Amino acid sequence: MTAPTRFKPTRAGIVGLYQYDEQTFHFGDGRIALRGRNTSGKSKALELLVPFVLDGDIRPHKLDPFGKGDKTMSWNLTGCTEEYSTRIGYVWMEYERVDEDGQTRRVTTGIGLKGTRATNDVKRWYWVVRDARVGHDLHLVKHDAHSRWALPRDEFKAALETHRGELLSTQDAYHARINELLFGFHHADDYRLMLDLVRELRTPKL
């Protein structure tokens, strides 16, 4: 069992990517088992969450658990459906620990994405928030009587700031902030090595 004073994942989510409208996954003691028939989306969930939510690299061969690189992030946003010409998505993961004083601490890391079918372009924004919880305090999706949609970047930024969250300008800054809050590696190369190791461990042949 993971020591309670170490951060461990408690929840993760996918919004507006592939066939996921708004899906939350719950972990037990930092672990999760994905079960389902073939083509039910297990590998796609891994592709969109682990280690992408810690990384942000959208190169296809980095995303695909099989290493084939057949599907791009642009495809996950707009290519997999005829419904959208432009689409916004989010991925996020929540981590939790109990401090020595018994106080529960939470950190959530996430990435927002916007894809446009005409250009195959994908824009990204990286974010971190402490204590506030997605779906409880911080909402990524808006609803009305007829539809639901993921928050555009500017609206999300305003919502994030009300909870003292941070919007990071680059992928390297995102890596550095996650490392500072969760891992504590001494060098950026060690963080990248961890990401590569996770990719190796998630391959189906293992």
The contacts of residue 15 (CB under 8 Å, 6+ apart) are: 21, 22, 23, 89, 90, 91, 140, 141, 150
Type of residue numbered 105: R
What fold characterizes domain 8-202? N-terminal domain of mukB (3.40.1140)
User: What three-state secondary structure class fits 164?
Assistant: coil
**Both structure tokens of 203:** 């391959």
**CA max distance for the chain:** 53
Summarize pLDDT for 134-172 with one digit per residue, the tens: 999 999 999 887 888 999 999 999 999 999 999 999 999
Report pTM: 0.93
**Residue 206: band (very low, low, confident or very high) from pLDDT cuts 50, 70, 90:** very low
